[in-house]
Structure 1
Amino acid sequence: MFKNLYVLLLLALLLGCGAAKLPSPGAIMPIKAQIDLVEVLDDKVMVVVDPGQIGKDEILFLIPRIIPGTYSEDNFGAYVQDFVALDYDAEPMNISRKDVNSWLISDAKKLDKVTYYVNDTFDTELEVEEAVFSPAGTNIAAGENFLLNLHGFVGYFEGLKEVPYELNIVSPSELKPATSLHEISAEITDKGQYNFSAKRYFELVDNPILFARANTETFKISDISVTLSVYSPTGRYSAKDFRPQMEAMIKAQKAFLGGVSGTKTYTILLYLAQISDSDATGYGALEHHTSTVVVLPEALPKQVLDESMVDIVSHEFFHTLTPLSVHSREIQFFNFNEPDMSMHLWMYEGTTEYFANFFQVQEGLIEIEEFYDRMAKKISNSRVYDDSMSFTTMSERILESPFKENYLNVYEKGALINMCLDILLREQSNGEKGVLWLMKELSAIYNEDTPFDDPELIGEIVAMTYPEIGSFFEKHVQGKEPIPYPIYLEKVGLKLEMDQKPASYFFLGQIPYIDADPGDLDTIFVQKGMELNSFFQDLGAKGGDIIIKINDTTITLDSMRTIVGESFGWDAEKDIRMTVMRDGELIDLQGKAGTPIYTERKIVEMDSVSEKVISLRRAWLGQ
Structure 2
Amino acid sequence: MSTSSIHFQLSFLEPQAHYVEVSMFIEGFGQDHIDLKMPVWTPGSYLIREFSKNVEHVNAVSSSGDALFVEKTSKNTWRVNTFGQDFAFSYRVYSFEKSVRTNFVDATHAFISPAGTFFYIDGHLDHPSTVQVILPAQWSKISTGLEEEPAVENLFKSPNFDILFDSPLEIGNQETWTFDAAGIPHEFAMVGPANYNQELLTQDIQKIVAEETRIWGSNPNDRYVFITHNYQSAHGGLEHLNSTVLAASRNAYINRLGYNNFLSLVAHEYFHLWNVKRLRPRNLGPFNYEEENYTPLLWIFEGFTAYYDNLITRRCGFRDEQEYLTELVSEFNLVLNRPGHRVQSVGLSSFDTWIKQYRPDENSINVSISYYNKGAMLACMIDLKIISQSQGKHCLDDVLKAAYEQFYLIENRGIDEKEFQDLAERVTGVSLEEIFEAVYQTEDIDYNAYFNLVGYQFIDQNRDTQTASLGIKVSHTDGRTIIKAVDRDSAAWLDGLNVDDEIVAVNGNRLDIQGRELDQAMLYSQIGDEVTLLVAREGLMLEIPVRLKASDKVSYYIERNPNSTEEQRRLGDIWLSLNQ
Instruction: Indicate the TM-score class for this superposition, using the shorter chain for normalisation.
Output: 0.7 to 0.9
Is 1:606 aligned to 2:561, yes or no? yes
Task: Return the alpha-carbon distance in structure 1 between the equivalents of residues 484 and 382 of structure 2.
Answer: 33
Distance in 2 of aligned mates of 1:459 and 1:480? 20
Partner of 2:528: none
Q: TM-score, normalised by structure 2?
A: 0.82
CA change 1:30–1:373 in 2 (3 A) is same
1:348 and 1:588 map into 2 onto residues whose CA distance is 49
SS in 2 for 1:469: coil
The answer to whether the Cα contact below 8 Å between 2:230 and 2:247 also exists between their aligned partners in 1 is yes
> Does 2:454 align with 1:472?
no
Counterpart of 2:6, as a letter, is: I
1:268 to 215, 219, 226: 226
Residues 1:151 and 2:115 aligned together: yes
Q: Does 1:494 align with 2:462?
A: no
Deviations 1:210-239 (A, max 9, x none): 11224122222231222221222xx4x26x
1-structure distance, mates of 2:90, 2:483: 41
1:355 deviation in Å? Answer: 0.7
Amino acid at match of 2:224: Y
Question: 8 Å contact 2:491–2:546 — kept in the other structure?
Answer: yes
Q: Is residue 341 of structure 2 the alignment partner of residue 386 of structure 1?
A: yes
The code of the aligned residue for 1:203 comes to I
Q: How does 1:47-58 map to 2 (within 5 A)?
A: 47-58=22-33
SS of 2:149 mapped into structure 1: strand
Per the TM alignment, residue 243 of structure 1 is displaced from its structure 2 partner at its CA by 4.6
Instruction: Say whether 1:347 aligns with 2:303.
Output: no
Deviation at 1:39, TM superposition (A): 4.9
Contact 2:69/2:80 (<8 A) preserved: yes
Q: Tell me the amino acid that sits aligned with residue 616 of structure 1.
A: L
Residues 299-308 or 81-90, more deviating: 299-308
TM superposition shift of 1:386? 2.8
For residues 353 and 61 of structure 1, do their structure 2 counterparts lie closer, same or farther at Cα, with a shift above 3 Å needed?
Answer: same
The answer to whether structure 1 residue 251 and structure 2 residue 207 are counterparts is: yes
Verify: 1:185 aligned to 2:150, yes or no.
yes
Greater shift after overlay, 73-82 or 91-100? Answer: 91-100
Partner in structure 1 of residue 101 of structure 2:
136
Corresponding residue for 2:162?
202
Equivalences for 1:209-608 in 2 at 5 Å? 209-232=169-192, 235=193, 237=194, 241-258=197-214, 259-274=217-232, 283-298=235-250, 302-303=254-255, 305-383=258-336, 384=338, 385-387=340-342, 389-400=344-355, 409-447=370-408, 450-454=412-416, 457-458=419-420, 460-462=422-424, 464-465=426-427, 469-500=431-462, 526=484, 538-540=491-493, 547=500, 549-551=502-504, 562-563=513-514, 572=524, 575-576=532-533, 591=546, 599-608=554-563
Consecutive unaligned residues of structure 1, counting only runs of 5 or more, are 1-9, 11-21, 24-28, 123-132, 188-192, 276-281, 507-511, 554-559, 582-586
Give the CA deviation at 1:373.
2.1
Assess, with a 3 A threshold, how the Cα gap between structure 1 residues 273 and 443 changes in structure 2: closer, same or farther: same
Structure 2 contact 476–513 (Cα < 8 Å) conserved? no
Q: Deviation of residue 59 (structure 1)?
A: 3.0
Does the Cα contact within 8 Å between 1:330 and 1:339 map onto a contact in 2?
no
Aligned to 1:616: 571
CA distance, structure 2, for counterparts of residue 148 and residue 394 of structure 1: 30
Question: Which whole-Å CA distance do the structure 2 matches of 1:402 and 1:409 have between them?
Answer: 7
Work out whether residues 540 and 589 of structure 1, in 8 Å CA contact, stay in contact via their aligned partners in 2. Answer: no
Consecutive unaligned residues of structure 2, counting only runs of 5 or more, are 526-530
What is the CA–CA distance in structure 2 between the aligned matches of 1:427 and 1:196, rounded to whole Å? 50
Contact 2:61-2:89 within 8 A present in 1 as well:
yes
Are the equivalent residues in 2 in contact too, given 1:57–1:109 (CA < 8 A)? Answer: yes
Superposition deviation, residue 299 in structure 1 = 6.2
Counterparts in 2 of 1:98 and 1:443: CA distance versus 1, 3 Å: same
Give the partner amino acid of 2:335: S
Q: Distance in 2 between matches of 1:266 and 1:102?
A: 33
The 1:167/1:590 distance shift into structure 2, 3 A limit, reads: farther
Q: Residue type matched to 1:295 in 2?
A: A
Which secondary structure state, in structure 2, belongs to the residue aligned with residue 90 of structure 1? coil
Q: What is the alpha-carbon root mean square deviation over aligned residues? A: 4.0
Contact 2:280 2:414 in 1 (8 A): yes
The residue aligned with 1:3 is none
Cα distance between partner residues in 1 of 2:369 and 2:46: 10
Contact kept, 8 Å, 2:281 with 2:414, in 1: the verdict is yes
Q: Percent identity?
A: 18
Q: SS at 1:492's partner residue?
A: coil
User: Is contact 1:342-1:454 (8 Å) kept?
Assistant: no
Residues 138-196 of structure 1: CA deviation (Å, up to 9, x unaligned):
11113x11111121211211111111110011112332112222111387xxxxx5111
Partner of 1:36: 11
Counterpart code for 2:142: P
Residues 151, 220 of structure 1: alpha-carbon distance in 2 compared, 3 angstrom cutoff: same
- Quote the residue 1:72 is aligned against: 47
- Given that residues 128 and 158 in structure 2 are in contact (C-alpha distance below 8 angstroms), is that contact kept between their aligned partners in structure 1? yes
Structure 1 CA distance for aligned equivalents of residues 29 and 384 of structure 2: 56
| Counterparts of 2:60 and 2:484, CA distance in 1 | 47
Give 1:57 deviation, angstroms.
Answer: 3.3
Using the TM superposition, name which of 324-333 and 161-170 deviates more: 324-333
Partners of 2:282 and 2:414 within 8 A in 1: yes
**Partner secondary structure for residue 401 of structure 2:** helix
Aligned to 1:174: 138
Asked if 1 retains the 8 angstrom alpha-carbon contact of 2:32 and 2:83, the reply is yes
Secondary structure of residue in 2 paired with 1:85:
strand
3-state SS in 1 of match to 2:135: strand
Deviation of 1:593 (Å): 9.3
Amino acid corresponding to residue 247 of structure 1 in structure 2:
Q
| TM superposition shift of 1:356 | 0.4
Kindly state the Cα deviation for residue 65 of structure 1 after the two structures are TM-superposed.
0.8
The one-letter amino acid paired with 1:562 is I
- The secondary structure found in structure 1 opposite 2:299 is helix
Q: Which moved more, 1:478-487 or 1:417-426?
A: 478-487
> How far 1:344 moved relative to its partner?
1.6
